[in-house]
A and B are shown apart, each in its own frame.
Chain A
Amino acid sequence: MMRQRFNPLQRLLHWIMAVSILSMLFIGVGMVSTVMPKYLALVAIHKPLGIAILVLALVRVAVRLRYGTPPLPADLPEPMKLAAQLSHYALYALMIAMPLIGWGMLSAAAYPVVLFGSVHLPAILPQSDGLHTLLWNAHFYLAFVFFALILLHAAAGLFHALVRRDGVFDTMAPWSTPDRIAPAE
């Protein structure tokens, strides 16, 4: 018998990462559009938060491989099932790729990758103007793709919760839903 909800660890990771990634995207577009002193504060958050998201994403993939996902409702149309699966794969890919691209971009520009205080990360790429440009473009455009996907994901989640009311949202809801009792496994 498949589980009815994501387990508490999966739900915790999902919501911590939701807050982290949304913060990260807002910090990103905010910092590159200001010359005020907050620029430095935002950059100083952006780097360690990005690495934290990378670590959390790797943990999350491992947890997902171990525990799997609850099934989608049987009556969900196939195109929606496919869209759900593909968008989730894209979100996982971006969670892992964006921090790595950012780290690689800083490495290719010979900037120190400062986590906090005197803690630096090593360069993961050699200095290269070509690589820097490639990764800069990837980081920039994928950030908008990421945000668009998150909006789509949120819209789909709300659609399940408010319109279809098919229990999909409850599988990841942060609160417990006592009226939906999982069948005995």
Chain B
Amino acid sequence: MVLPRQSSTRSTFGSLLLIAVVIGAGAAAFAYTAGWLSPQRLTPNKLIDAFAPPGGEPLGHRRNHAKGICFTGTFEANGAGSELSSAQVFSHGQYPALGRFNLGTADPNALDATVRVRGMGLRIVTPDGQEWRTAMIDPPIFPVSTPQAFYELLLASASKVPDAMQTFAAAHPEIAAFGAWAKSAPWTGSYAEDRYNGLNSFVFTNGSGAETTVRWSLLPSVQPVPVAPDDLAKRGPNFLEQEIVQRIRGGPLRWTMVVTVANPGDPSADPSKAWPEDRRTVEIGALVVQQIQDESNGPCRDINFDPTVLAAGMRTSDDPFPAARSSAYAKSYDRRTAEAKYYPRTGADAKP
């Protein structure tokens, strides 16, 4: 190649500059995608950080619903759900279930009587290799409409700014319904007496391809007995775990699984809005809890009850929460599995 020397130098410089620009643009695009240039982006890390109680993160534990106890049992499908979804879990049969009763707190040592929200994580596996995981809570509606609002709620509840919660409630009036439930709903003395609601909506597809938007709940077979929180406090810091261990000795515990089908136009994207009472419900079977196991060594310990693990025939809807929960649960899981040394496995009966 014969070129005047000066032109060649200039062209080499131009080429190097071009290469630098191309590589720099690639790196910048990567940084943007990773969120490094967008400090406002709500990331799973930020959401999980916002759960941390004043005493710091509960190392080795779930970042929310940190206190709980494992169970194993069976899901007895009666076959009625097959009308809604082609998933094997709805066809008549018995499928192994694994779950966890828990308290909606980031403190694994919280006193049971101080935690308003109780929950259940559940995993059902079918012989075709499919899985259905869900994490439900006992309030009938979720406090807020969007994951962003939920993040702001976490910040407001941890805030030392006076009136932070009032300011939040003014901006998110939907929280009033949850507030009313928290204030007036009766407390019970047992996980066995509580109803667990999925709250998020999902889409079921049946064998002929017809789709329905649904929510689900587990209804207890044990009649709830209201107990005042002050009286619950006298039962000790871990009375719920002790009570369920005691109660299971008297035989398995049952919940009826009910699927509620939305009408067109029902608020499927907003778990803070209940659907009208007259919506069609289908009883699809029963969860039978047969054994209770201590969490530290139990089979639920290292299971992430990610609500987007669904069998074929079920999928997420326009509800934005399952995606947010999935991303945040994964982050919580990544952190706690890396901290296992802070939550040692102990002898099977080490916990009182």
Residue of B nearest to A29 (CB): B34
Which of A7-15, A62-70, A78-86, A110-118 lies at the interface? A110-118
Interface assignment of B328: CB less than 8 Å from any CB of chain A: yes
Task: Assess the B15–A36 pair: CB atoms within 8 A.
Answer: no
Task: Assess the A40–B326 pair: CB atoms within 8 A.
Answer: yes
Complex CA–CA separation, A34 to B323 (angstroms): 9
CB contacts (< 8 Å) of A129 on chain B: these are 302, 337-338, 340
Residue of A nearest to B151 (CB): A35
CB contacts (< 8 Å) of A112 on chain B: these are 129-131, 309
Which of A46-54, A89-97, A156-164, A175-183 lies at the interface? A156-164
Q: Which of B30, B312, B337 contacts A25 (CB 8 A)?
A: B30
Task: Assess the A34–B23 pair: CB atoms within 8 A.
Answer: no
A82 to chain B, nearest CB (A): 21
A102 to chain B, nearest CB (A): 13
Task: Assess the B320–A158 pair: CB atoms within 8 A.
Answer: no
Tell me the chain B residues, 149-178 only, with Cβ under 8 Å from chain A.
none
CB contacts (< 8 Å) of B43 on chain A: these are 32-35
A154 to chain B, nearest CB (A): 6
Task: Assess the A162–B304 pair: CB atoms within 8 A.
Answer: no
Interface assignment of A6: CB less than 8 Å from any CB of chain B: no
Q: Classify chain B's interface size.
A: 35 or more
CB contacts (< 8 Å) of B29 on chain A: these are 26
Task: Assess the A36–B34 pair: CB atoms within 8 A.
Answer: no
Tell me the chain B residues, 201-215 only, with Cβ under 8 Å from chain A.
none
Interface assignment of A174: CB less than 8 Å from any CB of chain B: no
Task: Assess the A132–B337 pair: CB atoms within 8 A.
Answer: yes
Complex CA–CA separation, A163 to B10 (angstroms): 11
Task: Assess the B327–A35 pair: CB atoms within 8 A.
Answer: yes
Task: Assess the B33–A39 pair: CB atoms within 8 A.
Answer: no
Residue of A nearest to B313 (CB): A118
Interface assignment of A37: CB less than 8 Å from any CB of chain B: yes
Interface assignment of B1: CB less than 8 Å from any CB of chain A: yes
Instruction: Give a binary string over A95-136; 1 marks a CB under 8 Å from any B CB, 0 the rest.
Output: 000000000000001111000011010000001011011001
Residue of B nearest to A134 (CB): B338
Task: Assess the B333–A39 pair: CB atoms within 8 A.
Answer: no
CB contacts (< 8 Å) of A40 on chain B: these are 308, 316, 322-323, 326
CB contacts (< 8 Å) of A25 on chain B: these are 30
Interface assignment of B16: CB less than 8 Å from any CB of chain A: yes
Complex CA–CA separation, A51 to B42 (angstroms): 29
Task: Assess the B23–A155 pair: CB atoms within 8 A.
Answer: yes
Task: Assess the A110–B12 pair: CB atoms within 8 A.
Answer: no
Interface assignment of B44: CB less than 8 Å from any CB of chain A: yes
Task: Assess the A136–B334 pair: CB atoms within 8 A.
Answer: yes
Interface assignment of A165: CB less than 8 Å from any CB of chain B: yes
What are 28 inter-chain pairs, A to B, with CB distance below 8 A? A29-B33, A30-B34, A33-B33, A33-B41, A33-B43, A34-B35, A34-B42, A35-B323, A36-B42, A36-B323, A38-B323, A40-B308, A109-B304, A109-B337, A111-B304, A111-B309, A117-B312, A120-B129, A129-B338, A130-B340, A151-B26, A151-B27, A155-B19, A155-B22, A155-B23, A159-B15, A162-B19, A163-B12
Query: Which of B's residues lie within 8 Å of A, judged by CB?
Result: 1, 12, 15-16, 18-19, 22-23, 26-27, 29-30, 33-35, 41-44, 47, 128-131, 147, 302-304, 306, 308-309, 311-312, 316, 320, 322-324, 326-328, 333-334, 337-338, 340
> Apart from A26-B29, A35-B328, what 6 extra A-B contacts exist at CB < 8 Å?
A26-B30, A35-B47, A37-B320, A118-B130, A118-B312, A136-B338
